[in-house]
Structure 1
Amino acid sequence: MKHLLITLTIAALGLAATPAMAQSAAPAQNDALYQALGAKPGLEALMEVFVAGLKADKRIGEQFKDTKSSYLQEQLVDQFCVVSGGPCKYQGADMKSAHAGMEINKAQFNALVEVLQFAMDARGIPFATQNQLLARLAPMHRDVITAK
């Protein structure tokens, strides 16, 4: 039930996002969320679990089969660091460019969110902190979901 509530929250937040936020997630004004996630070591540990989960998931693992885990983890650490208000610089592609032509549908996007939720649960990240992170990531859905 918790996972369904978070997924519904993400969908609602994404639909309510301003056009400026739809391009990419905006960096936070302070680093409270970054610190709550355990700063860079916490994000690195989270991304290790998350990426392993993505590759193992039967619903979306195929999308990541040719992606080097260490590269994906590094990119995600930097991106989540920026989104959560940390000091990192994300040098990767914007979400629209990175996902263009991949034909990602809502079910696949929701599966990715579920894998992230399971990873956060596995790392013992409190529910309120999970929701804060997911709310900041939610605007990206418009650039990631490219299939109907």
Structure 2
Amino acid sequence: MAPTQTQAQQGGSLYERLGGLAPISVVVSDFIDALVPDATLNQNPAIDAARKRVPSPYLKYHVTAMVCQATGGPCQYHGKGMKEAHAHLNITGQEWDRMLTIFKGVLAKHQVPANETKELLDIVESTKADIVTNIP
């Protein structure tokens, strides 16, 4: 993917501005480590069951590849689509918001700059319609 004019002015693709695969994988690892044991999210029986069934290293691998690809990096995500991967979890808007809170906290911990944080959050937000299926 060729960088846009805005990306070029800001120092390249989002992937490049985040520092590449190593820093992305560290942030993803910390995010999954915070997400998996979260008591609020695990009150949802489907999420809790998935946490026990799907190993964290597997999630870290797929989420790292997805973020790498979505930010303009060389990785290719080969996992399920967001809708297929999350449909059975009955994720609510409140659970989505909790995940975003955790994600923002991890980005802040790693001092991801504001522009890059916004771009990452925009990418995440673009998946909401496929992930949040339990709308009260």
* Alpha-carbon shift at residue 61 of structure 1 (Å): 4.0
Who is 1:87 aligned against? 74
Gaps of 5+ in 2: 4-11
Who is 1:78 aligned against? 65
Report the residue type matching 2:127 in the other structure: M
Report the residue type matching 1:91 in the other structure: H
| Mapped pair 1:36 → 2:17 | yes
Instruction: Work out the CA distance in 1 between the residues paired with 2:14 and 2:113.
Output: 11
Report the residue type matching 1:119 in the other structure: V
Higher relative contact order (CA 8 A, sep 6+): 1
Report the residue type matching 2:61 in the other structure: E
* Alpha-carbon shift at residue 72 of structure 1 (Å): 0.5
SS of 2:77's equivalent in the other structure is coil
SS of 1:88's equivalent in the other structure is coil
* Alpha-carbon shift at residue 52 of structure 1 (Å): 0.7
Instruction: Count matched residues.
Output: 121
* Alpha-carbon shift at residue 114 of structure 1 (Å): 1.0
| Mapped pair 1:96 → 2:77 | no
Cα deviations across residues 80-130 of structure 1 (Å, max 9, x unaligned)? 011111111000000011011211000001111111111111111112210
- Normalization by structure 2: what TM-score? 0.82
| Mapped pair 1:65 → 2:46 | no
Instruction: Work out the CA distance in 1 between the residues paired with 2:109 and 2:56.
Output: 19
* Alpha-carbon shift at residue 29 of structure 1 (Å): 5.0
Who is 1:25 aligned against? none
Instruction: Work out the CA distance in 2 between the residues paired with 1:57 and 1:78.
Output: 23
- Normalization by structure 1: what TM-score? 0.76
| Mapped pair 1:54 → 2:35 | yes
| Mapped pair 1:130 → 2:79 | no
Gaps of 5+ in 1: 1-27
Structure having the higher Rg: 2
Report the residue type matching 2:116 in the other structure: T
Give the CA RMSD over aligned residues. 1.6
Kept in 2, the 8 Å contact 1:83–1:137? The answer is no
Who is 1:121 aligned against? 108
